[in-house]
A and B are shown apart, each in its own frame.
Chain A
Amino acid sequence: DIQMTQSPSTLSASVGDRVTITCRASQSISSWLAWYQQKAGKAPKLLIYKASNLESGVPSRFRGSGSGTEFTLTISSLQPDDFATYYCQQYGSYLYTFGQGTKLEIK
């Protein structure tokens, strides 16, 4: 099974900051990686697919990059609405795995 490791698990930042979340796969997944944002009590929202493609309607301050085993999600200038939990998700060999999540908190 492919395991996904996100870091950090918690991140404190301020409005306007640039932040980066990292996701590492236990083996190469090419570019088969997605990022989601989840707010309390809500379903996850797809932000990025195939590692670097912005889902329609998602602000351009969200950027995904990486391939193989290491991936990053960068938010260029944090907005109040961005404080949430973020998950990566891989798709390999017809199976899916989510990372353990990164909670982005207001400093």
Chain B
Amino acid sequence: QITLKESGPTLVKPTQTLTLTCTFSGFSLTTSGVGVGWIRQPPGKALEWLALIYWDDDKRYSPSLKNRLTITKDTSKNQVVLTMTNVDPVDTATYFCAHRSGEAFDYWGQGTLVTVSS
């Protein structure tokens, strides 16, 4: 059974760096074809894809945010970490991590709400 869970701060100040961790089970990020992505959703708004890391350490980023994002994996801990630099109140959102299957995300974490405020 595949499960994912996001963790990280609930409140971050503007200009700080946000670090989120996705801890997963039921699959391995060393298996060919596997990927884990991050998606966010501001309150009342649409989903926005942020980044994805593949089993072979290939990384993809949203063009609009790529200068602020870094995605890494720790296969020994079954974790994927997303860092976002220089956060702003517009980055307030629920952040989800998800398991990639083919071109879609078939398993999602419950999400974690991050508020950016001074």
Contact = CB atoms under 8 A, between A and B. Distances in A.
Nearest to A89: B104
A66 B63 CA distance: 26
Interface in B21-61: 37, 39, 46-49, 52, 60
A1 B63 contact: yes
Nearest to A31: B103
Query: How would you classify the secondary structure of chain B's contact residues: helix, strand, loop or mixed?
Result: strand
Given A44-B47, A94-B60, A32 B106 contact: no
A77 B10 CA distance: 40
User: For chain B, which range describes its interface: under 10, 10 to 19, 20 to 34, or 35 or more residues?
Assistant: 20 to 34
Nearest to A95: B60
A33 B37 CA distance: 16
Contact of A101 (B47, B105, B110, B111): B47
A2 B109 CA distance: 26
Interface of B: 37, 39, 46-49, 52, 60, 62-64, 96, 98, 101-106, 108-111
Q: Give the top 10 A-B pairs by smallest Cβ distance, nearest first.
A: A91-B103, A34-B104, A43-B108, A96-B49, A49-B104, A98-B47, A100-B46, A32-B103, A101-B46, A46-B106
Given A50-B104, A98-B48, 15 more contacts: A1-B63, A34-B103, A34-B105, A36-B47, A36-B105, A38-B47, A43-B96, A43-B108, A44-B96, A46-B105, A49-B106, A50-B102, A89-B104, A96-B52, A98-B49
